[in-house]
Amino acid sequence: MGCMRLSYIPNLITCLRFLLVGPVLLALFSHHYLWALGFFMLAGVSDALDGLLARLYGWTSRFGAIADPLADKLLLVSSFLALYELGFIPGWLIIAIISRDVWILLGAIGYQCFIGPVPMAPSGISKINTFFQILLVPVILVDLSIYPLPGFLVQGCMLIVLLTSVGSFFHYTWVWGWRAYQNHKINVEVRNKKLGVPKGVV
């Protein structure tokens, strides 16, 4: 029973990360950027901690597999939108980030409905994109609250987020499209085999 309760710890930490979205946004819109940085970093530490516990002790669950990336995405997107509203992030970057996320979400729903279970493992370029998205928020907040950073550093992070967002968009489109095509071919071959249709007829 004790082990079962301990296995809930990663999920509780994930729930904490959902709750931290409010304080981050409140601090941002109150122009308390150092507090926003602190809350954001706390969320980052919680993300690393629940992942570490899940890997070390096998405390994984379906809830965690779904809620963990959702908590990260909610925190990131809400932070980006707040920084955009405050004038610290350009509109073109928000469009790239949101378009990619919406496209992936719609693709995942379509894949789940018409093809089968969605592959949960993120691609390499998606991991790079997520890393630099996570990095960009504290870089901006450090620039606003602790020490003015060189402009090329902030702009460089934004550019990398833009390029990896676009790259990830096209990569997922290609990979899922190819898998859908292969799945269709297999289904056609199985159907034709049952109906006695010669091979190669679609």
pLDDT in tens, 135-156: 999 999 999 999 999 989 999 9
Of the chain, the end-to-end C-alpha distance in Å amounts to: 56
Percent of the chain beyond pLDDT 70?
87
Checking if the pLDDT of 4 tops 70, the result is no
Phi, psi for residue 7 in degrees, rounded to 5: -65, -15
CA 136 to chain CA centroid, Å, is 14
Average pLDDT of span 10-28: 91
List, in order, residues 6 or more apart from 29 with CB less than 8 Å away: 82, 85, 86
CA dihedral 103, 109, 114, 120 (to 10 degrees): 90
Contact 21, 75 (CB under 8 A): yes
Closest CA to 73 of 128, 27, 18, 142: 18
Provide the CB-side half-sphere exposure for 103 (13 A, CA): 18
CA distance 191 to 202: 10
Are 140 and 83 a contacting pair, CB within 8 Å?
yes
What was the pLDDT predicted at 27?
97
- What does the mean pLDDT of the chain come to? 84
Percent of the chain with pLDDT over 90: 46
3-state secondary structure 146-193: CCCCCHHHHHHHHHHHHHHHHHHHHHHHHHHHHHHHHHHHHHHHHHHH
